[in-house]
Structure 1
Amino acid sequence: MWAASALSTLGDGVTLVAGPLLVASRTSDPALVAGAAFVQQLPWLLVSLVSGAYADRVDRRALVVAVGLVRAAALGVLVWSVATGTGTVPVLYAVLFVLGVGETLAESATAAILPAVVPPDRLATANARLTGAFTVAHQFVAKPLGAWLFGVAAAVPFGVDAVTFVGAAALFATVRPVPGAPRTGRSGLRADIAAGVRWLAGHRLLRTLAVAMGLGNVAFCAAFATFVLYARQRLGLPPVGYGVLLTALAAGGLLGSLVAARLRARLGPAVLLRAGLLVEAGTHLTLALTTVPWLAGGVLVVFGVQTTSWGITTATLRQQTVPDPLRARVASVYALLETGGAALGSLAGAVLSRYLGLVAPFWIAALTMALIAAATWRTLRAAG
């Protein structure tokens, strides 16, 4: 599972870079270029709950393998169309949408499989290793690799991604049979989705974490929606400096994946989650106040550690708490809140920055995170 996740993540990252480059080579319309990233995220808003319900209905391992092969085939179509000169923007959008739908299914199923493969006391470590592989493959390797492969030939990065999906499917097929699937005797799809939503709504701790994550994503994405302009105008950095700041954030994420399990074992989930909210509020406050690039970079490293540790801790709690028949559905609700919060935050950030200035979203985000910390402080005690 670890190797398959790393391989498919690498391919996803390559396509995430190459997709906008392909659109930019076909059109100079900024909206169409930006749409390449949006169309791949759109399925999380449209079908994530449905995908979670299906992942709780079928053999999850077989679903991940099948989805990987379908995504590889879709990329094969794109490779052929680009190589033959028929790779239009609508064709790319269609393929990216298929890849996004497949991602909702595969991610929901994988999140539900992990607790059946890994012993409960090793879940935090397993989640940390998956997160570390994602950070290295997606943040450090895939982005420069995708751009370089696109320079070799426009079709090459998509062909590489197709190969990674086939390889990941082959690796995942070797995972031992997972108990609890296939499942039969269910009610309708709508009732299945409602059951997952009701279960989450009825669990105070997980409900609180889900809402906090959604609202936190609104705050974070509102603040960072125009971060490239913040780096240039507020910190006085050239484009390479902006890249260094993003690298600092990614480096913090990698460090967080290495220490999260140990921090969780030493401090306990409750302390780690509470500290994470305070760190996030402090990060936004520091970025609102500072004009010093090295201080901004340092706080982004700490923030990267926090976001990764928070994600690993909450995923582990969810996997240890949610009953197996509901795991994919509950995970899909989390994904919907996460993606919806990010989308709303990006939109709000663009509006706030235009009318209130580049620093205003950071002030608002700091206040929002402080309020979230205050509202959830007592409930988080139940995390242990």
Structure 2
Amino acid sequence: MTLGPSFTKLWLSQGLSNLADGLVIAAVPLLAVTITRDPLLISGMTVAQFLPWLVFTLPAGALADRIDRRMIMVWGNSTRAVGFGLLVLTLVADLHSIVLLYLAVFFAGTAETLVDNAALTVPPRLVQRADLERANGRLFATQSAINNFVGPTVGAALFSVTAILVFSTTAGLFALASLALLTLPRMLPTPSDTSASTHSAGDVVRSIRAGWSYFWDHRLLRRVAFISGSINMFSSATGGLLVLLATGPLGVSESWYGVFIAVPAAGAVIGSLIAAKVVPLIGGGPVTWLAALVPSASWIVLGLSGSVVLCEITMFLAAVSTALNQIVVSTLRQASVPDELLGRVTAAYRLIVLGVVPVGAFLGGGLGRWLGPRTTFIVCGVGLTLAALVFASRVSTRALKDAEMPVRPAPAEQIPTAL
């Protein structure tokens, strides 16, 4: 069953930008390890990528509730296209510097805060509440398949030819994603959001504070944010070291690294596609447990085992559980927060969830230098298990259902163009 032409256009744009992100996932660490093998400097890539979430997330949420969300995504993707185009120029000039790579990743990460925050507020404008799980599942399945499976495989293959080719392709894909977004209907602020009519510094700050207060006072959203934040912090601590573990002790070659990190993405695709059926069956509460405990087990296996096959299996299962949890938390936000606040509340949520990523990456880099990659994976597995015991037990399936608002806004096709 179709979800409408506007959703299809959003889906196309997200697919193009996800492919660009997938190329970067493989190409950036591969380029980094040609410059240095220092675990702390390698983990610094993750710090540079996610540091913007600490700085720009809340303003990005205020923008999403004040101006056309479509244009936020258009300009954000265009900015990423320009950023990676500039990186190509440095490579053409044979300037292989870790500092320049940090700057490129930070520049792209800054634009990503705008694009991703706006994109997460769009589905309720395009589909009815009954279709949100399916719409989110389709978006996350596409993201997982392309961002983590197709993209890294292609990115590693293109990198084996030349770094210039892979980053040129990345810039072109972001430009195409911007063009696809221009075909969407306008998504101006909801009329009831009176704050959108004023733009002074004080008004913007008060607007951001209102969104943060709504998020912080919403106990369930806050608890889910702490769970997801714990998962992301320890994931980032291990993620920056994965390239060292794979190309070192596990013996994965550079040309096969894209396949190594792409195989678990099949689990994320499957998890996203089956979420609409599995989540109601087992409940959102148990999903939060799985999302923490399965990755914990996976990291412990990565730290202890020398078997590539066993590592791939556990990462596959971790990806399934994480994908299910993404659908649960995204649908919770979209179904329980008024549209006029959704951009700011989503930003507040993501400040917690993604703001910890650079902290985790820095922690992982330090532990990797001190203890080595293998032991760091084990420490992170134990740490996430403890976090699950503290936070996950406070989230129940009944609470998730009770948090939903009874009425959702009409889809975009039904919203008058005068908005």
CA distance, structure 2, for counterparts of residue 23 and residue 297 of structure 1: 23
> In structure 2, what is the equivalent of residue 276 of structure 1?
288
| 5+ residue gaps, structure 2 | 1-9, 402-419
Q: Which amino acid aligns with 2:163?
A: A
Q: Give the TM-score normalised by structure 2.
A: 0.78
Q: Does 1:62 align with 2:77?
A: no
> In structure 1, what is the equivalent of residue 385 of structure 2?
366
Q: Does 1:215 align with 2:230?
A: yes
> Could you tell me which of 82, 98, 111 is aligned with 1:73?
82
> In structure 2, what is the equivalent of residue 327 of structure 1?
342
Q: Displacement of 1:109 after TM fit?
A: 1.0
Deviations 1:242-292 (A, max 9, x none): 98874553222111011011113444xxx2332431563255357648859
Residues 193, 179 of structure 1: CA spacing in aligned structure 2 closer, same or farther, 3 A cutoff? closer
CA distance, structure 1, for counterparts of residue 108 and residue 293 of structure 2: 34
CA distance, structure 2, for counterparts of residue 121 and residue 342 of structure 1: 32
> In structure 1, what is the equivalent of residue 252 of structure 2?
239
> Could you tell me which of 352, 358, 362 is aligned with 1:337?
352
> Could you tell me which of 46, 56, 68 is aligned with 1:47?
56
Q: Displacement of 1:101 after TM fit?
A: 1.0
Q: What count of residue pairs does the alignment treat as equivalent?
A: 376
Q: Displacement of 1:200 after TM fit?
A: 0.5
SS of the counterpart of 1:188? Answer: helix
> In structure 2, what is the equivalent of residue 117 of structure 1?
126
Residues 56, 28 of structure 1: CA spacing in aligned structure 2 closer, same or farther, 3 A cutoff? same
CA distance, structure 2, for counterparts of residue 224 and residue 168 of structure 1: 27
CA distance, structure 2, for counterparts of residue 283 and residue 32 of structure 1: 24
Check the 8 A contact 2:298/2:311 in 1, yes or no.
Answer: yes
CA distance, structure 2, for counterparts of residue 95 and residue 222 of structure 1: 21
Check the 8 A contact 1:83/1:155 in 2, yes or no.
Answer: yes
Deviations 1:104-134 (A, max 9, x none): 0011111112210121111111111111111
Q: Displacement of 1:44 after TM fit?
A: 1.3
> Could you tell me which of 10, 18, 24 is aligned with 1:9?
18
* Paired residues for 1:193-204 under 5 Å: 193-204=208-219
Q: Displacement of 1:341 after TM fit?
A: 3.0
> In structure 2, what is the equivalent of residue 305 of structure 1?
320
Q: Does 1:184 align with 2:201?
A: no
Check the 8 A contact 1:20/1:34 in 2, yes or no.
Answer: no
Check the 8 A contact 1:72/1:163 in 2, yes or no.
Answer: yes
Identity percentage of aligned residues: 30
> In structure 2, what is the equivalent of residue 96 of structure 1?
105
SS of the counterpart of 1:367? Answer: helix
Residues 166, 287 of structure 1: CA spacing in aligned structure 2 closer, same or farther, 3 A cutoff? closer
Q: Give the TM-score normalised by structure 1.
A: 0.84
Q: Displacement of 1:36 after TM fit?
A: 3.8
CA distance, structure 1, for counterparts of residue 295 and residue 346 of structure 2: 27
> In structure 2, what is the equivalent of residue 154 of structure 1?
163
Q: Which amino acid aligns with 2:292?
A: E
> In structure 1, what is the equivalent of residue 269 of structure 2?
254
Deviations 1:149-194 (A, max 9, x none): 2343332222211211121111111112335369323552222221
SS of the counterpart of 1:178? Answer: coil
> In structure 2, what is the equivalent of residue 18 of structure 1?
27
Check the 8 A contact 1:5/1:168 in 2, yes or no.
Answer: yes
SS of the counterpart of 1:174? Answer: coil
Q: Which amino acid aligns with 1:361?
A: C
> In structure 2, what is the equivalent of residue 383 of structure 1?
400
Q: Displacement of 1:4 after TM fit?
A: 0.5
Q: Displacement of 1:299 after TM fit?
A: 4.0
> In structure 1, what is the equivalent of residue 331 of structure 2?
316
CA distance, structure 1, for counterparts of residue 163 and residue 220 of structure 2: 47
SS of the counterpart of 2:197? Answer: coil
| 5+ residue gaps, structure 1 | none
Q: Displacement of 1:383 after TM fit?
A: 0.9
Q: Displacement of 1:74 after TM fit?
A: 2.8
CA RMSD of aligned residues (A): 3.3
> In structure 1, what is the equivalent of residue 137 of structure 2?
128
